[in-house]
Structure 1
């Protein structure tokens, strides 16, 4: 028996590849399935089952393409109602893979079809669980995402999750390994650890939601407290996972279409496409196609695309570094953005050589910022998370997280100048590109963000005035 966790950092997602005696199972596969097919061939094993812990909200699974390529059936837990052929397991049903078995434990709460898959080793011993979004390391799945589908409140779902955890998971032996679907950085929980593997015993000792003697009421309050609104694309990803989607190969082939500079503007205008520039923020600042949005491929690219663009049906044309086109299309497809019309042939350099119009972002260093800013007089907008701002921020700065830019941008006065920063420049350049695309030119973005600002003499504080509102 062999278990491999295939962890994708930009999604904070774990898929699992399990083999035993010439047979294999894959749990929660990513959208692009060729790496799995290559691995199966290399290991000379047959894929027997594809297990899905639930209808994922934060990424599009590769279950359909993988099943089509291998003939392996897709297995869901009880109550799942996919709009394609699948095995809907009963609670406690077992599936043989070589000399081991996978036992289905119905663990509703995050979603009502959520299942935890218990691996029984060659001797029938309870060895590991693949807990999906039911149990994370240090946290549990948020209970607010499936409210509409379940016709339940988040409190009712949380109560259901409480009993799933205590009746199905916490009763397992302490040495049972826990393999979750996500780690820190995922929006499917709020307090996940950077660790991606643990044990039942360790989670009982350290996970706030598995605390001994915790009442149902306490669990509901603590699990639902502080939940941020889910990204808008989540519901669309659930629908794709449940109803079906375009083959990844088709999406990739379309995205790899090279659009000549001469045709680029016409295609963008006629299609209403968003121009998405995935180059590094420092490169983007020095020159880009007007109206384009910068979300760098080297950061938390796919989640930010999902959070800020929201509608997965939005037509997109890409501007990437040369040879990053395929990686960009792949990452977009993982979160359901399939309407990619192609990419700029030759990248931004081709646009520049053609003498086309170019825009720039007014960016200064932290030292320049320190020399010219007047604390208490100038407006400073911090687009980091509220928790980062609360830990320490520039004195008198406003907290306006990037995730909510579509809400707070309406409060910006286009005639009043302001400074803009995040932690290191990635998020503030996203904000800068959105602001300029919507006509705002009255700001200065800080290179290096708060990490660089913290090294200057600019006054900083951890005091948060709850009544402070943006009025620029």
Structure 2
């Protein structure tokens, strides 16, 4: 049986495509559906079903556009209550895709409608399970997301449901089944996911901490330990997936408005739009439109947009490299940010060449940092995650994780200089742009972040502490 995994690295997301005898099915599709339509066209097949493992929190699914464009039927598992036409399947219900069969296995825990789909080939042999966010490679789905939509679904209750689902529905299955999860390492939907994107169930029974023998209370404690606060856009995406959303075609039509510098400035002044600059950190630092925020398209763009822009309804004006506008709009819409109202025609260079005011951010390399650190002892602000900071950090540095920076602005001085860094320079430039927008000016960004400092300076050899190792 052939199962095609369609993996999107920036979201650590896996969709799946199967086809047999002219009928196809897609599982957990991304917002832009053209790749699935083209894939089915290549097979001369009709996409009969769109199977959803649950109402996703970290992206907006493409099920509604596939329903509209391909005539596909949308399938959810038990307990789902979508606000649009869909099949809400029963536990153990079987769907035919050509001569293949797809069996519904209700596995609540990540959410109450969470469902695993068993794939069976032409002979009826069980091939694998598409597990959604129920079971990952090395991990299981976090149980604290649904409570942000339904308050009485506490994380303890959901973790208990997940324990039962794994023990009663997953563990009894054959060891040779292939696991096809919805996410891999880098997703915020779990905490210990492997970089591998498939495995056998038998191997996961051996190595996955959540599948080891333990009581329900022990499982709940292990699952909840170390969970970080989910990104703020997660519950907003869940509601979009439940209630429905605007077609991506309409979003693109509205967003792909090329604005010259005069029109762009007028739009920025006349609306509440955020100016989002998606160029890389080095180019942004050399010159950017005042009050714009930098989130580079070449990094974990969608995830950081979701972390740093509180509302998916926020109007956005884009600054991109030429010919990157549609990619930026698409990636914004993947996580529900559908209100881009235009982009700067010709990119930042057109703004600069028109004689408009622009700002810069001062940056220094690791050697300059070493000299300043030894001679001036400036405040160093580390915007990496707490776990990264706890592993190793520059002595005296203040840890303010990027996704928490807006809650800790009072800790950042305006009356003395400081330095900002992350691991490699991507997150620190996001932080720098936010600080500039909020009125901070007397600081520098460290090029290459902690990685470059550790590799190229004596500061890193003698002046950073590694608590984990010391313990």
Deviates more, 1:142-151 or 1:416-425: 142-151
CA distance in 2, matches of 1:5, 1:460: 45
Question: What's the secondary structure of 2:226's corresponding residue?
Answer: coil
- Aligned-pair distance for 1:376? 8.9
Q: How does 1:14-413 map onto structure 2 within 5 Å?
A: 14-147=14-147, 148-149=149-150, 151-211=152-212, 213-374=213-374, 377-413=377-413
Contact 1:77–1:115 (8 Å) recurs in 2: yes
CA distance in 2, matches of 1:152, 1:426: 36
Contact 2:392–2:467 (8 Å) recurs in 1: no
Q: Deviations over 1:306-333 (max 9, x none)?
A: 0000200000000000010011001000
Aligned residue number for residue 460 of structure 1? 463
> Where does the alignment leave 5 or more consecutive residues of structure 2 unmatched?
none
- Aligned-pair distance for 1:124? 1.4
Moved over 4 A (4+): none
- Aligned-pair distance for 1:393? 1.4
Contact 1:104–1:116 (8 Å) recurs in 2: yes
Q: Deviations over 1:414-448 (max 9, x none)?
A: 11211110111111000000000000002111011
Contact 1:131–1:179 (8 Å) recurs in 2: yes
Contact 1:316–1:340 (8 Å) recurs in 2: yes
CA distance in 2, matches of 1:80, 1:460: 54
> Structure 1 residues 374, 408: closer, same or farther in 2, change over 3 A?
farther
Aligned residue number for residue 419 of structure 2? 419
Aligned residue number for residue 9 of structure 2? 9
Question: What's the secondary structure of 2:19's corresponding residue?
Answer: strand
Question: What's the secondary structure of 1:149's corresponding residue?
Answer: coil
CA distance in 1, matches of 2:306, 2:464: 32
CA distance in 2, matches of 1:89, 1:194: 32
Give the structure-1-normalised TM-score: 0.96
Question: What's the secondary structure of 1:196's corresponding residue?
Answer: coil
> Where does the alignment leave 5 or more consecutive residues of structure 1 unmatched?
466-472
- Aligned-pair distance for 1:464? 5.5
> C-alpha root-mean-square deviation of aligned residues, in Å?
1.3
CA distance in 2, matches of 1:118, 1:259: 49
Give the structure-2-normalised TM-score: 0.97
CA distance in 2, matches of 1:410, 1:346: 38
Q: Deviations over 1:344-386 (max 9, x none)?
A: 0111000000000010001111111111124894211111111
Count how many residue pairs are aligned between Structure 1 and Structure 2. Answer: 464
